[in-house]
Amino acid sequence: MPASCTTTTTTNTTSVRPIPIDTNPPAPIHPTLPSATDEEWELELEMERVQKRMKKLKEERRAEEEARVKAEAEAAKEKQQEEAAA
């Protein structure tokens, strides 16, 4: 090794700091509203609940309508059979 070369050794030292505990962590990121505030997120969640409720009510109404139509068809069929027998 020539005398004109010098070797320097550096040590990488990192200071260890305690991680601060956040007493008010940020709300999770909403998939459709990534920059939404808590109030906007609550409104979005409420809308989702309302939409689910509306869907359930529509399904119930459709089932009731199908049952009513079926009952009316059955009654008309019975009436037709009674008239044919009389």
Which range marks the domain in which residue 60 is found?
36-86
pLDDT at 78: 93
Which 3 state secondary structure label does DSSP give 2? coil
More confident residue, 80 or 38: 80
Distance CA 10, CA 4 (A): 19
- 19 within some domain: no
User: Which is nearest to 27 in space by CA: 13, 40, 9, 12?
Assistant: 40
- 9 within some domain: no
> pTM for the complete prediction?
0.47
- 75 within some domain: yes
- 48 within some domain: yes
Distance CA 77, CA 69 (A): 12
- 24 within some domain: no
CA distances to 6, 8, 17, 62 from 13, in Å: 22, 16, 13, 70
pLDDT at 57: 97
- 12 within some domain: no
Mean per-residue pLDDT over the chain, rounded: 80
- 77 within some domain: yes
Number of domains in the chain: 1
